[in-house]
Amino acid sequence: MGILGASGYTGAELLRLCAQHPRLEVVYATGDSQAGSLAANLYPSLAAEYPNLVFDEFDLARVDGLDVVFLGLPHEASLELVPALVGRVGHVVDLSAAFRLKDASKYPTWYGFEHVQMDLLAKAVYGLPELFRDELRGAALIATPGCYVTAASLALSPLVRGGLIEPQGVIVDAASGVSGAGRALKHTSHFSTVNEDFTAYGLLDHRHTPEIEQVTGAQVLFTPHLAPMNRGILATCYARPSTDVSTASLLAALARSYAGEPFVVVRPSSPSTKAVLGSNAVHITARYDERTGYVMVLAALDNITKGASGGAVQALNAAMSWDETLGLSRVGVYP
């Protein structure tokens, strides 16, 4: 298998996960900005498993014959490259947003570019196994969900689909660790900027909004926040009930929806980002507030694992009809 864009955070996480996957062997890893450098020098955490791995420049011929290629590239780079990969390799798993939105007309507004690969957009399968497992079987092109989207969608979808909450006027407030901004240096992700701070961003126009709406079928007001932590997402979602509900009935509905799901934990207690650190698990709870008449659903996950690279590996496992837990942990790193 190959990883294109392996020098970024999601690429490094893919290398970590593939090292413990019994059916995946990394034979090609690109990182154009780091081409020629040892992966272990950039990420010492990889040294034991990849002591001699050197990031390569991209060469299309090098992917010939590979069963799987993961893409950890910018959106427009994936859009340009995927047509050359589909049919050349067994499975393409794209971690960008290039093939997530089924309505191509939304790309100029939310991502700033025109989508020109309509056929591939129609063929791409959304890589969230808990909600789209049947479609993933044998998929040649997988579009891995956004990190915020994974948390919000797993929290809300069972309640929307079950007719328990109104699909209009749903509010999603979610906080993410700084790794969600990627490895590139930015003023907003400097230590002295982030430390001892907590801020909202992307007000009213964050690009994950239409993706959350596409997956959940709800109208969503989404506000992301940056938290002074390395990894993790905590999403708090608010909605009006569409029928008589209680905290117990909401928890029961979520538990039924995710019965047998290896990575979804539904519990009465409030989820925490530390509990899912480094794992592919999602912890969810719900409440009904009789005083205000609101339903509240919370979900916690690791934005780099389940929210990106772990979710991509799980989606590939589903596409290959493998055990979805291969290479992935359900247990967080604690303390």
223-245 residue pLDDT tens = 999 999 999 999 999 999 999 99
Least Cα distance to 319 among 145, 99, 136, 68 occurs for 136
3 state SS of 281: coil
pLDDT at 70 over 90: yes
Same domain assignment for residues 98 and 235: no
For residues 185 and 101, give the distance between their C-alpha atoms in angstroms, rounded to a whole number.
Answer: 28
Specify if 99 maps to a domain. yes
Residues 98 and 168 in one domain: no
Does residue 309 form part of some domain?
no
Which has more confidence, 183 or 274?
A: 274
> What are the pLDDT digits (tens) for 268-309?
999 999 999 999 999 999 999 999 999 999 999 999 999 999
Same domain, 118 and 22: yes
Over residues 16-23, mean pLDDT:
98
- In angstroms, how far is the first alpha carbon of the chain from the final one? 33
For the stretch 101-119, pLDDT in tens is: 999 999 999 999 999 999 9
Interval 192-206 mean pLDDT: 94
Q: Which domain holds residue 278?
A: 147-303
Q: What is the CATH number of the domain that holds 216?
A: 3.30.360.10
Task: Tell me the residue length of the chain.
Answer: 335
143 contacts 198 by C-beta, under 8 angstroms: no
Tokens at 206, concatenated: 């964050």
Catalytic residues: 147
Average pLDDT in the chain: 97
> Based on the structure, what is the number of domains in the chain?
2
Predicted local distance difference test score (pLDDT) of residue 181: 85
Whether residue 267 is found in the same domain as residue 156 = yes
What the block records as the tokens of 83 is 């047509």
The verdict on 108 and 36 lying in the same domain is: yes
Q: Please give the pLDDT value at position 200.
A: 97
> Residues 156, 150: contact at Cβ < 8 Å?
no
Taking residues 140-166, report their average pLDDT. Answer: 98
Could you tell me if residue 286 is inside a domain?
yes
* 109 and 247 assigned to the same domain: no
Q: Which residue has the higher pLDDT, 98 or 335?
A: 98
